[in-house]
Amino acid sequence: MATISICSFCAVLCFAAPLPPIETVFIIMMENSDWSEIVSNASDPYLNTSLLPIASLCTRYYNPPSNHPSEPNYLWLEAGTNFGILNDLDPYANHQATTNHLVTLLKKAGITWKTYQEDISGTNVPLAAINQ
């Protein structure tokens, strides 16, 4: 009898409809702010009342040791390493020739992607800072 129950349970699991694929992922970086400054902050009602209730949230992300300022953290997010870069110099100074990173993996898998970044028009990739 126990065997039949286990098999029945297994059959239900095996034939259950799969979850639909994830279609859109947004990664919103709240740079230079502690989470305690953002969550439940009345100055950001859209994030707190619209996005967070429907979001998955990474609350245990920490900088790799000695990995500051910002640019090394962005490199870790995209490539899993900071390539030894420990500064925020412009791309012309910190350019990397590797294609071993997240965007390449997404393209190879046929997944489209976009990035929206402060002061970048979207029509070109600047090699020097625009505004600040």
Residue with tokens 């902050």: 41
Same domain, 71 and 104: yes
Residue 72 lies in a domain: yes
Residue 84 lies in a domain: yes
Residue 53 lies in a domain: yes
Same domain, 96 and 52: no
Residue 17 lies in a domain: no
Domain containing 78 equals: 64-118
Same domain, 27 and 50: yes
Residue 7 lies in a domain: no
Residue 106 lies in a domain: yes
Half-sphere exposure (CA, 13 Å, Cβ side) for 70?
A: 8
Same domain, 107 and 78: yes
Residue 126 lies in a domain: no
What is the DSSP-derived secondary structure letter of residue 93?
Answer: H
Residue 9 lies in a domain: no
Domain count, the chain: 2
Question: Can you give the pLDDT of all 132 residues of the chain as single tens digits?
Answer: 333 333 444 444 455 678 888 788 888 877 777 788 888 889 989 989 998 898 887 777 777 776 778 888 888 888 989 999 999 898 889 988 899 999 999 999 999 888 887 778 878 878 888 776
Same domain, 110 and 82: yes
Q: How far does Cα 23 stand from its chain's mean position?
A: 15
Cβ burial 17-29 (10 Å sphere, 16+ → b, else e): eeeeeeeeeeeee
